[in-house]
Amino acid sequence: MIKEIIEYKNILNDIEELIDNSPYKKSYIISEVGISTPTFYRKLKTNSFTPDEALKIIRLIKPKEAYAYDLEQGLKRSKDDIENGRTYTRSEILEGIKEKLK
């Protein structure tokens, strides 16, 4: 757990540089994160973004990494579903679609 905390602190230490090197303006990032401008700059200066705020920022400025992570997690969930028998046959899916279209 210590390793994860240190990695998180390193991310917070690097976040300003990541933002500066991103193609997005800070005003766009501020609006997407949903915090006020003064709060954003205070948190940027003091490296005090919450984990959720940091995640939103990183997802914005690193969309390819976010997509790859989401895809990987989806594949893991799918594999788990298959291993645990949470699957549907083609006919079950078609029947469900027909029911929704009625």
| Angstrom distance (rounded) from CA 4 to CA 55 | 14
Query: Please, which pLDDT band fits residue 96 given cuts at 50, 70 and 90?
Result: very high
Predicted pLDDT of residue 15: 96
Domain enclosing residue 28, as ranges? 1-61
| Angstrom distance (rounded) from CA 94 to CA 62 | 37
Whether residue 55 is found in the same domain as residue 68:
no
Whether residue 49 is found in the same domain as residue 96:
no
Whether residue 75 is found in the same domain as residue 51:
no
- pLDDT tens figures, 28-56: 999 999 999 999 999 999 999 999 999 99
- What total of structural domains would you count in the chain? 2
